[in-house]
Amino acid sequence: MRVCLIVEGAYPYVNGGMSNWIQQLMLYMKDTEFIVQSIAAKREETRSFKYQIPDNCLEIQEVYLLDDDYMSNRRQKRLKMTSEEYEAFEGLLFGKEMDWKTIIRFFAEKEVSLNALLSGEDFLSMVLAYYKEHFARISFTDFLWTMRSMYLPLFTMLKSRTTEADLYHSASSGYAGIWGAMQRYLYDKPFIMSEHGIYTREREEEIIKADWVKGIYKDLWIMQFRKVGMCCYDFADQVVALFEEARQFQIELGCSENKTMVIPNGVDSHKFENIPQKQEEDPFIHVGAVLRVTPIKDVKTMIGAFGLAKSKEPRLKLWIMGSLEESEEYAQECRKMVADLNIQDVEFTGIVNIKDYIGKMDILLLTSLSEGQPLAILEGFAAKKPFIATNVGNCRGLIQGEFDDWGDAGYIAPVMNTSKIANAILDLAGSPEKRKRMGETGYRRVCTFYDEKNIFEQYYQLYQRMAEKEKVK
């Protein structure tokens, strides 16, 4: 079987989270051939692989959302839509009933110049009609450029091509899911979509907070991602959530319930056996955070909470372990915050081998604004460490237990609440016995319900079921 894995903004160029999941999935299914379709915003000369590509991964294909002819000054052949095509694109822009099949065929059957499309008479006409109906109070020029920038990455995806596979599996909805939906229609092959976080909801949260989107345009972008999400759900044969609450949210967003299922994340707890541990003479109480230093992880709240706790317990030391490159400006802001507040004993390690550090931690911490089911928590449990996390995604379910009554494996705190996060740090810092008990609870939980081998076996069986259905068509 040949499977095309589709991922946006991650593997093999970004460490952690979803990338780790993709790597381990391929390593587990040694008898399956994989092609990875990697989607990035734009082409970068300095990009390098962060993983050793498994032998059964035949190819890494790349698509760049902002890497097309649109901004060129080259003269392009005039593009004229049929009435059916015009109605389909108009439905897409207006958010009415959307004929995605016609749109997909439009890009599949024609040599489409995005310059000719987005600057053409047809696109201008439908944008103008949409503007007059709903947005006449704002600048048309700004509105037109917003619509062009909104649809450029989507149309770039729809214009891209790949080799045929036996099954398509996207690791999210969004642009990865759209690309999978397109292949589902063009090749009539099964399409599975896994959502590690609810993509539509995450984009909404980002847009609401974003400075680059102003006023009414926030609503336009949010509606755009909702339309894309519905297309992904409609074309997918199976939609996988990491936990039950996420599955219910997929249904609320419009996914058919009979398509949905839950397969959680998993870790190999054996990998955390015999890892280096803290020395008895070590005077510090170590607080560790395994994450990418990006705004979504809200590292600034983490620093603020640690600083507050540090002022009351001088023995605390914070280790921020993960990439500083994904959002370099934000990483610099975090470093500056530490310096401006004169917080001592904060280490930014960059990317490290977590197994060299995690055993030496007393407490683990995650202050994200949004999560799915964090692998960082599962790995912390595998290392027998208590965890403090914000109440996002499945963090509460992991820490308090969804399938057992064994007690808490840490603390849950509200998002951006520095005082409660600081209090949780201080509580665990003051009680080695509680740290040990909670760490053992987390370890028992991860071994029982989140074993990596069992999780990937569920995906293997899902692949086989899809293949069998394909045979009897």
> What is the DSSP code (8-state) at residue 397?
H
pLDDT in the model for residue 117: 92
Q: Quick one: 173 and 217 in the same domain?
A: yes
Q: Which of 383, 379, 377 is nearest to 411 (CA)?
A: 377
For residues 79 and 25, membership in a common domain is answered with yes
| Number of domains, the chain | 2
d(CA 29, CA 3): 11
Per-position pLDDT tens, the chain of length 473: 999 999 998 889 888 778 889 999 999 999 999 999 999 888 775 678 889 999 999 999 988 888 665 555 555 567 889 999 999 999 998 877 789 999 999 999 888 888 889 989 999 999 999 999 888 888 999 999 999 999 999 999 998 877 789 999 999 999 999 999 999 999 999 999 999 888 888 888 888 877 778 788 898 899 889 999 999 999 999 999 999 999 999 999 999 999 999 999 999 999 999 999 999 999 999 999 999 999 989 999 999 999 999 999 999 999 999 999 889 999 999 999 999 999 999 999 999 999 999 999 999 999 999 898 999 999 999 999 999 999 999 999 999 999 999 999 999 999 999 999 999 999 999 999 999 999 999 999 999 999 999 999 999 999 999 988 877 66
Looking only at the bridges linking them, the beta strands covering 238-241 and 346-350 are unpaired
What distance in Å separates the CA atoms of residue 242 and residue 42, rounded to the nearest whole number? 29
Nearest to 290 by CA among 209, 408, 378: 378
Question: What is the full DSSP assignment across 264-309?
Answer: ---B-GGGGTT-----TT---EEEEEES--SGGGTHHHHHHHHHHH
Contact 428, 386 (CB under 8 A): yes
CA distance 135 to 141: 12
Q: How far apart are CA 471 and CA 473, in angstroms?
A: 6
pLDDT value at position 377? 97
Q: How far apart are CA 103 and CA 368, in angstroms?
A: 37
Residues 73 and 208 in one domain: yes
Task: Collapse the DSSP code of 208 into the 3-class scheme (helix H, G, I; strand E, B; otherwise coil) and give the result.
Answer: helix
- Same-domain check for residues 216 and 314: no
d(CA 124, CA 189): 35
Pair of tokens at residue 416: 């951006």
Q: Return the H-helix or E-strand segment holding 230.
A: helix 216-235
- Token digits of residue 138: 């704002």
> Within this chain, do residues 227 and 314 fall inside the same structural domain, yes or no?
no
Instruction: Tell whether 239 and 328 lie within a shared domain.
Output: no
Residues 446 and 456 in one domain: no
Element (H, E) at 249: helix 244-252
| Residue 27 contacts residue 3 (beta carbons within 8 Å) | no
- Give the domain extent around 436: 269-450
DSSP 451: B
CA distances from 189 to 59, 161, 182 (A): 19, 15, 10
User: Does residue 346 sit in the same domain as residue 423?
Assistant: yes
CATH number, position 149: 3.40.50.2000
Written in H, E and C, the secondary structure of 333-390 is HHHHHHHHCCCCCEEEEECCCHHHCHHHCCEEEECCCCCCCCHHHHHHHHCCCCEEEE
For the beta carbon of residue 282, count every other beta carbon within 10 angstroms: 13
7 and 107 both lie in a single domain: yes
Residue 203 shares a structural domain with residue 71: yes
Indicate whether 217 and 280 sit together in one domain. Answer: no
Q: Is 141 helix (H, G, I), strand (E, B) or coil?
A: helix
pLDDT of residue 136: 86
Q: In terms of domains, do 193 and 209 share one?
A: yes
